[in-house]
Amino acid sequence: MSFLDTLRQWDDAITCVDRSDLTEALRIFLDIQEPNSKICFNIGCLQLLNQNLDAAEKAFDCSICKDEHLAVAFFQRGITFYKQNRYEESVGDFHLAFKALRGNQLIDYKALGLRYKLYACEVLHNMALAEAHLGQWEKAQKNLAKALEYKTDAKLSIIDRAMQSTLKQKLFKAVEFPSAVLFRPNKHYVAELEKKDYLGKAKVVASVVPQDHFSGFAPLQPHVEQEPSGPKEPEVLRALEGDPHIVRYEFIPETSDELAVVPGNIVFVLQKGSDNWASVLFNGRKGLVPYNYLEHLEMSLGGQQKNQLIEPPSRVPPTRPERKQGLLRGESSSQDFQQREAQTADNLCIVKVYYKFNFAVSLASGSTYKTLIEKISKKLNRSPSSVTLSLASDATSALNDNTDMESIWSAQNKHITLWCHTKEQPAENPQNNETVLVALHSYESTNPEDLGFNQGDKITFISKINQDWLEGHSNGNTGIFPASFVEKVNDQ
């Protein structure tokens, strides 16, 4: 079967899925003679949705054989084994899925045609569930503690509920993949399947000059005494397709659908998606570019700008902060990653704090109350005397210098949850007040740990990551953002 035939059948099957005809979609997929790893994955998802577990297992086996780095296929086969009560094999597949993540917090498969994000914390969550079925409660607790290092705000409650269940040695629900979400073929390839009439229909043209004997594709135009100094502005803008934008940061493509641009390029945005990617036209080529790398540009005659744009401090985007404990560090070697896992499990204790916003800190095993209160007060930019910590939300079990922290760490298995209360800052200590920043430019977050905001939003400063990145709280969300996008609010 040719590539075009495979592509056409793939697109037909996805069309059936969109109109909820899953039986016909499965039949079309099974008729494809040489399916690739993505099509095999789609077959496995539809078989799993129909509870055909043996057929689903074979389809996921085929997908993994064709692409051994497809982490989501290991995840789905682990779910299949779990539904068959084959818990040891399920643990093995979840471990392979986590290994394929290579220390990343998540993998976004949208660039490959699958509208799904595979989170590392969810993989560890299911691994712990399978271990709990085997009676390995200590391993389950360690994997859930590790999941807290990779968690996002949206997934925090799932991990917390699972942790509470394992402490009581009770089972919890698995995180399942939405089986109706499938790999889709490249939309640019699908568009090429349609027949196009490049010549169009013939048109009869005639010259408005009686003495014009020109014959060809277009007649001569009437002569005028004075040639215009330039084309009219509507004609210029009519010739440009899309909305003009100027490139602020260099973008290096990672897939064939993306387009390479450098600062200063003028591109024309054809369509902006809700996922922060924009389809642009540049030098006659179309491709995808992150929209927050662009800035809107208004053009007049001769390509001049109507409004002078505010230049950012640098055309080079700031370097992202170094990831720490699997949250903000880049990829490392497998040996370093294993050493970091061992250090986290043996020497670190995780503290989750409920405040106006939720956050987590890590401390060395056996840390005193003084070390704990200093780290949390520094995180909140307040003095230790104005911060009160308690084991319950009503502040009845408050901690102090006489608290036996060793018993708390051991009782909670190196993971505790605290509630934080702060006193009002006195007027004579203005240096302890919260620092408020205002956004100079809009920033759309491209990573789960980022804080997105619009121009003019107020942001409460929490901490400084490095000279280029800050951490703050705004509109109920907490995250990091470029320091060059904000400025401090005037005291007046």
Residue pair 116/178 in contact by the 8 Å Cβ criterion = yes
Closest of 283, 339, 294, 340 to residue 317, by C-alpha: 294
* Rounded-to-integer distance, Cα 377 and Cα 420, Å: 10
Confidence band for 257, pLDDT divided at 50, 70 and 90: confident
Q: Which of 61-75, 125-139, 143-157, 278-292 has the lowest mean pLDDT?
A: 143-157
61 burial class (0-12, 13-18, 19+ CB within 10 angstroms)? middle
Does position 482 have pLDDT exceeding 60, yes or no? yes
User: What is the reported pTM?
Assistant: 0.42
Residue 198: what pLDDT? 56
Sorted by sequence, the CB contacts under 8 Å of residue 370 that are 6+ apart come out as 401
Tell me the average pLDDT across 453-459.
89
DSSP string, 286-301: EEEEEGGGEEE--B-G
- Ordered structural domains, the chain, with CATH: 3-167 (1.25.40.10), 231-317 (2.30.30.40), 346-422 (3.10.20.90), 434-488 (2.30.30.40)
Q: What is the pLDDT of residues 131-145, one digit of tens each?
A: 999 999 989 989 988
| Biggest alpha carbon–alpha carbon distance for the chain | 107
Closest of 475, 465, 452 to residue 483, by C-alpha: 465
Residue pair 29/185 in contact by the 8 Å Cβ criterion = no
Fill in the DSSP letter of residue 337.
H
Beta-bridged to residue 418, according to DSSP, are: 353
* Rounded-to-integer distance, Cα 245 and Cα 293, Å: 10
Does position 473 have pLDDT exceeding 80, yes or no? yes
Q: What is the pLDDT of residues 259-276, one digit of tens each?
A: 888 888 889 999 888 778
Does position 92 have pLDDT exceeding 90, yes or no? yes
Residue 313: what pLDDT? 45
> Higher model confidence: residue 322 or residue 138?
138
H helix runs in 168-279, sequence order: 187-191, 233-239
